[in-house]
Amino acid sequence: MKKNRLIQYITWFLEIFTEAKSFEANPILGNRLLNRLGLHVIRMMIARLITGFRRWLLGWKISSEHRRLFRQHGYLRISNVLPPELFKRLQIEGESCWPEVREFIQGDTTTQLVFLDQQKLNQLPAAKALCSSSHIRNLLNYVASTGIRPWPHFLRIRNLGGLSTDDPQKKFHSDTFHPTMKAWLFLEDVTADKGPFEYVTGSHRLTFKRLLWEYRQSIIGRDLDERYAARGSLRIEEKTLASLDLGHIERFEVPANTLVIADTSGFHRRGIAAPHSSRLCVYFSLRLNPFIPIPLPDSRPINHLAETLVAEHVAKTTQRRDDAKEASATNIR
Ligand SMILES: [Fe+2]
């Protein structure tokens, strides 16, 4: 028993040097005294420095204009990213890929997804062509600050209406304490009634005011009311943004075939949507240990291992469509 306890403490300690973020699940990360002494903000600062270095190493693969826009805003938006013919084929694949859908429900929103592992991509030539595009890969890898293959999904957000409106993704939040990448290639026009993605411009930057806010949040971290916040995905009220010198909210009402890539350590949320609306996209994510000093290489064993772990995570945190139940901890947007 004592041995098990010891192993548990060693594990919690080692998690300090990983992407682990939950104040609630890890009593070291959630320890008030340690966070008063700066544990959370020191992790943030080191992770930013390392991620900045890793992005610098990968920066030559993208244009200086994209680097500048990303540094300034925390996101990139690229219209007409795919040739029309390829985009049309991708739309058809996206529309017809749903027999194996998995889903989870958060408040009044159902998130349905199909993880596109290599096996699936081999059956979906347009999706495979998208994932093989070096132009898109380089942009995704730059923001993710690593070289491995991003994890693609077909993703459909369904707004149920008439149920609970307590969708945690509709509050402004940061996904985690370190820079991370999510991207959406929209397969249909995103209009205001479809609940567009919203991002607080420039909120990916770790300013002194942001650091101070994070410091205060971390001290009460494990006792925060909002359970996602206690798990390390901090929530912020819209009215508080001004005190961090933030205010401009970019709403991505965009035409189909637009790619949006964001550092979701910046504040973002899912916009309010009309009941029974939905939207379909290809969704990419890539989140790794922020303390690894250099970008991981695009190597087959690493990609395979990561893909296996993501598939397991999706299986664990979602239900098959007929068996769906209340939300997992997955944080899509
Ligand atoms: Fe999010």
Structural domain boundaries of the chain?
Answer: 2-332
In whole angstroms, give the CA distance from residue 34 to residue 56: 31
Q: What is the pLDDT of residue 275?
A: 87
CA 168–ligand 1 middle distance (angstroms): 9
Q: What is the pLDDT along the chain (333 residues), one digit of tens a residue?
A: 677 889 999 999 999 999 999 999 999 999 999 999 999 999 999 999 999 999 999 999 999 999 999 999 999 999 999 999 999 999 999 998 876 778 888 888 888 999 999 999 999 999 999 999 999 999 999 999 999 999 999 999 988 764 445 788 889 999 999 999 999 999 999 999 999 999 999 999 999 999 999 999 999 999 998 899 999 999 999 999 999 999 899 999 999 999 999 999 999 999 888 888 999 999 999 999 999 999 999 999 999 999 999 888 888 888 776 544 443 444 555
> How many A from CA of 331 to the centre of ligand 1?
5
Helices 134-144 and 125-132: angle between axes, nearest 10 degrees: 60
Q: How far from the centroid of its chain's Cα atoms is residue 260's Cα?
A: 12
Cα–Cα dist 291/194, whole Å: 37
CATH topology of domain 2-332: Jelly Rolls (2.60.120)
pTM of the model: 0.92
DSSP 8-state symbol, 40 = H
Of the candidates 121, 113, 164, the one whose C-alpha atom is nearest the C-alpha of residue 313 is: 113
Q: What angle do CA 38, 42, 48 make, to 5 degrees?
A: 150
Quote the ligand 1 centre to 263 CA distance (angstroms).
10
Closest CA to 15 of 4, 30, 33, 2: 30
Ligand 1 centroid–CA 332 distance in Å is 6
- Using only C-alpha atoms, the chain has a radius of gyration, in whole angstroms, of 19
How many angstroms does the Cα of residue 146 sit away from the middle of ligand 1? 20
Q: Check: CB of residue 148 under 8 Å from CB of residue 303.
A: yes
How far is ligand 1, taken at its centre, from the CA of residue 37, in Å? 28
pLDDT at 228: 93
pLDDT of residue 54: 98
Q: How far is the CA of 173 from the centre of ligand 1 (A)?
A: 6
Distance (angstroms) between ligand 1 centre and the Cα of 25 equals 19
